[in-house]
Structure 1
């Protein structure tokens, strides 16, 4: 199978390339050059569109950049796909395209209410793709992953690791939550399985590990991996929320956006994709995947 991957130099792109390269012929492509369409190879079977502008937790990015990259480039690439003989188009959107916060469990049929420029740009791209008529023999897969992690990935998990590693008590234990994560191994497995399953229907699919975990669970996993005793402090949540407002003004490690990511509940269902692929369990459990990521920080 001949596959083109955009955003191949990013975290997901690098890992997906390693996973697929032994079974498929892969070609990375950059969309940064304004004339990329002139040299785009359409003699392929699958496009996996990963390239995009990630959510900026520091809120320093211009809103227009999200729409130019996440929406407009996706539209251009999809139009190339529609006019070609390429069979499959995978668009990596995000759960944030439809819900900034989740009450209960997030399923694919939720009424979209994106709140950030990142989420809105992803959703507007989805809207365009879904409104187009697919020629016979073509498939469109819109993937909505939750928080992706794996060896080499930085971000909030790495921040959490550094706190625990230094022996600093986790001060947010009073926040009780449940979060879905997505191991890069499970992501890669799902993509390869979807490509191979020729009778899989086009559609929107959530990607998440099988089980949700709390932030306190993650702190305990980090402590266990480091051979330390977990240190969880239950400081008043209202006090913490007041203090982090300072981080919204000054360059501190914790601000309101990061606090939200670390403590909110965000449970994502993966039942639709598992049913469609006829699998009961993903190969890597949520805890196994997190431990593998945590060990990579050492």
Structure 2
């Protein structure tokens, strides 16, 4: 382990994961975190250094922010978009998730950065885990959609760079991340539960792995200077898998709201979703996506510090304190 203070550069420092990561790194006496954002922040209460590099592309010059940096944590990426309207979605994802990533990593290696931590996605493994066979970090990647494909291509480019330069590459693939301020599908589900409307999801017996924001951040921080993390792929996740029904009940409990679930059989929900052209949504609500995180414990001695119940409670702490 590195004992003396050293510099860690975090891209996307104002984002959902990046901002939580910056605050966590700031608590470590031996780490000096430096955040990178597209546009300069003016909040005087932010207790760490922030640099603006403007819009990022495959030609961005990172020279001014790489001096003395020992570790980079790259959280920037074009997030998964439901019902993407781009003319060529794969090209749009590649421009950011591959182009920006490889350009930064190449310059980092040239600047002497020792380790590059890339926040990828479980979609590199695939869209659905088989019955009784959760995804593992060493599975053959089977990405299906443009987002997953772009993340996998970035991983391959980084691994090739590691082989040619000697810079450590660490890849972390999280599933759905939830926590305070979360957006996307999880936020939509929270809104529905909050309205107290009856939902036809009371008999869904799938299993999905999610990861609490604090658990993901803790895993990333562990990988900053752990020798065994070098050139490894890790899957992030909570210690417990939930069905959609269990998740909705857990969210309602954390919100202090009643949970009104109607037990409609899954095959009827799936058929209805297909007829309405919502097959992808049905997969997220009814399909299973389980993740095996045992490699994290075996190599890093890491286990999720928060339970699912604790993670869900933290989603709503600020709201209850207002």
Normalised to the residue count of structure 1, the TM-score between the two structures is 0.89
Provide the secondary structure at the position in 2 that maps to 1:106: coil
Structure 2 regions of 5+ residues with no counterpart? Answer: 1-5, 39-52
Deviations 1:199-239 (A, max 9, x none): 54321111111111111111111232344443221224343
User: Is 1:84 the equivalent of 2:91?
Assistant: no
- Shift of the 86–100 alpha-carbon distance from structure 1 to 2, 3 Å rule, reads same
Counterpart of 2:46 in structure 1 is: none
What is the CA–CA distance in structure 2 between the aligned matches of 1:151 and 1:205, rounded to whole Å? Answer: 24
1: CA distance between counterparts of 2:21 and 2:214? 9
Deviates more, 1:164-173 or 1:47-56: 164-173
Determine if the alignment matches structure 1 residue 203 to structure 2 residue 241.
Answer: no
1:271 aligns with 2:294: yes
Tell me which residue corresponds to 1:19.
24
The answer to whether the 8 A contact 1:222-1:294 is kept is no
Q: CA deviation at 1:149?
A: 1.1
Q: Does 1:93 align with 2:120?
A: yes
The one-character-per-residue Cα deviations of 1:245-269 (angstroms, maximum 9, x if unpaired) are 5654xxxxxx332332222211111
**TM-score (ref. length: structure 2):** 0.83
8 A contact 1:171–1:232 mirrored in 2: yes
> Which residue, out of 38, 58, 71, partners 2:83?
58
CA distance in 2, matches of 1:115, 1:95: 11
Contact 2:266 2:286 in 1 (8 A): no
Q: State the alpha-carbon separation in 1 of the partners of residues 125 and 159 from structure 2.
A: 14
- Counting only pairs closer than 5 Å after superposition, residues 143-182 of structure 1 correspond to structure 2 as 143-182=172-211
Structure 1 residue 7, shift from structure 2 partner: 1.5
Cα distance in structure 1, aligned partners of 2:61 and 2:106: 13
Partner SS state of residue 68, structure 2 = coil
Against the structure 1 CA distance between its residues 179 and 199, is the aligned structure 2 distance closer, same or farther, given a 3 Å change threshold? closer
Distance 2:221 2:60 in 1: 30
Question: 1:112 offset after TM fit, Å?
Answer: 1.4
Determine the C-alpha separation between the residues in 2 that align with 1:258 and 1:291: 25
C-alpha RMSD over aligned residues:
2.1
After superposition, give the CA deviation of every residue in 1:80-113 in whole Å (9 maximum; x if it has no partner).
1222211110011111012121112000111111
List gaps (5 residues or longer) in structure 1: 249-254
Deviation at 1:12, TM superposition (A): 0.5
The answer on whether the counterparts of 1:4 and 1:28 sit within 8 Å (CA) in structure 2 is yes
2:312 corresponds to: 290
**What is the CA distance between 1:134 and its match in structure 2?**
5.3
Identify the residue that residue 232 of structure 1 maps to in structure 2: 261
Correspondence for 2:98 among 66, 71, 79:
71
Structure 2 contact 228–299 (Cα < 8 Å) conserved: no
Indicate if the aligned counterparts of 2:255 and 2:313 stay in contact, CA closer than 8 A.
Answer: no
The 2-side partners of 1:185 and 1:18 are apart by 11
Higher relative contact order (CA 8 A, sep 6+): 1
Q: Deviations over 1:157-202 (max 9, x none)?
A: 2222222222212212333111111111111111222223235432
- Counterpart of 1:192 in structure 2 is 221
User: Is the Cα–Cα contact under 8 Å of residues 146 and 182 in structure 1 kept in the other structure?
Assistant: yes
